[in-house]
Amino acid sequence: MKSTAMLLAAAAAAVGVVATQDAAAASHRESGRRATQSRPLQPPAPHGSTVVLYDQIANATTSGALVAQYSSSSGAPYDSEGADDFVVPAAGWRITTVQFGAFAGQNTTGAYPTAANVRIYTNDGPAPSSNTACNYSAATVAYDTTTQIATVALPGVCELAAGTYWISYQPMYDFGASGGDYFWNLAAPQVGAIGQWRNPGDGFASGCTAWSATTSCDFTQPDFAFRLSGVVLPVSLQSFSID
C-alpha cells in the first residue's frame, strides 16, 4: 500500500516543475555531501509592528517529507511529524502566523487539507523536547495553490521568551478520501540544528520512531521550509535603586 519511497515524494516547484521520486533518490545517491551555514540574521523590527520574524521558505527544495495525522485508524501506523528549529532573540516574540512550503503527492486527487496540528516545542539539545510552548490542534489551514504555501493564523496567543524552539506542522486528513498524501517541503542548506522527523508507528519501516535527523531517515535535505510572522515584544523595564 505505502512504502518508504513515499517519504521522498517529488515536489512541484514554485514554477510548476515536478521532480520525480526516482530523480530525488538518484540525486541523493550521487552526492553524500550536505552543506551547512550560519543561521541568517533577521532584520530589526519596530516593537509592536507585525513583521516576518524568521524565514526559511526561500530555502525550499523540490523534495518533501510526509507529515500527517490520519483520521482513519488504518492510517495510524503512518502518522508522522516533522520539526525544525529557530532562535528567538532577547526581546522575545509574539507569533501570530506561521507558513509552510507544502504540496500534494503526485497521485493525490483531493483538495489540500484545511486543518493541521501546529506545535512549537521547547528545545532538548539536538531535537524537540516533549514539552510544547504553544500547541494548536486542528488549526485552520489556508493553502495557496500558486505559491504552494500553507498559512495558519494561530487561533491563540503564542508568546516566546528568548531561546531555541522547534516548529512542527502536521496536516490532518483521510488518506483513503484524498487518494494520496501531502508533504512539507524540505529545505537546504542546513540552518541551525538539522531538522527532525518521526513516525511512531513505523509504518514506513524507516526505524525513525523517535525524533531523528532528517538525513538519517533517508531524506535528501536537512531542514524544512517555514516562515514565522508576528510582533517583537518590548523589553521589560527592570527595577533598580540608587544608593
Q: Is residue 14 one of the residues assigned to a domain?
A: no
**18 found inside a domain:** no
The reply to whether 188 falls in a domain is yes
Residue ranges making up the domain that contains 122: 53-232
Residue 1 is classified by DSSP as -
Within-domain flag for 226: yes
pLDDT band at 88; cut points 50, 70, 90: very high
Is residue 19 a part of any domain in this protein?
A: no
- CA dist list (Å): 223 to 11, 25, 45: 15, 17, 25
Report the alpha-carbon distance of residue 122 to residue 120 in Å, rounded: 7
State how far the Cα of 89 lies from the Cα of 224, in Å rounded to an integer: 21
Q: Are strands 163-173 and 81-88 parallel, antiparallel or unpaired?
A: antiparallel
Report how far residue 157's alpha carbon sits from residue 166's, in angstroms, rounded to the nearest whole number.
Answer: 17
pLDDT tens digits for range 202-221: 999 999 999 999 999 999 99
User: What CATH number did the domain enclosing 129 receive?
Assistant: 2.60.120
Mapped onto helix, strand or coil, the DSSP state of residue 27 is helix
180, part of any domain = yes
- Separation CA 96–CA 135 (nearest Å): 13
Furthest CA-CA distance within the chain: 75
% of residues, the chain, pLDDT over 70 = 75
The one-character DSSP state at 28 is H
Q: Into how many domains does the chain fold?
A: 1
CA angle 116, 162, 136 (to 5 degrees): 15
Q: Which cell numbers hold the place of 66?
A: 510526509
Q: Is residue 74 part of a domain?
A: yes
Q: Is residue 193 part of a domain?
A: yes
Higher-pLDDT residue of 107 and 157 is: 157
Least confident span in 2-16, 86-100, 106-120, 128-142: 2-16
N-to-C CA span, the chain:
75
Confidence (pTM): 0.79
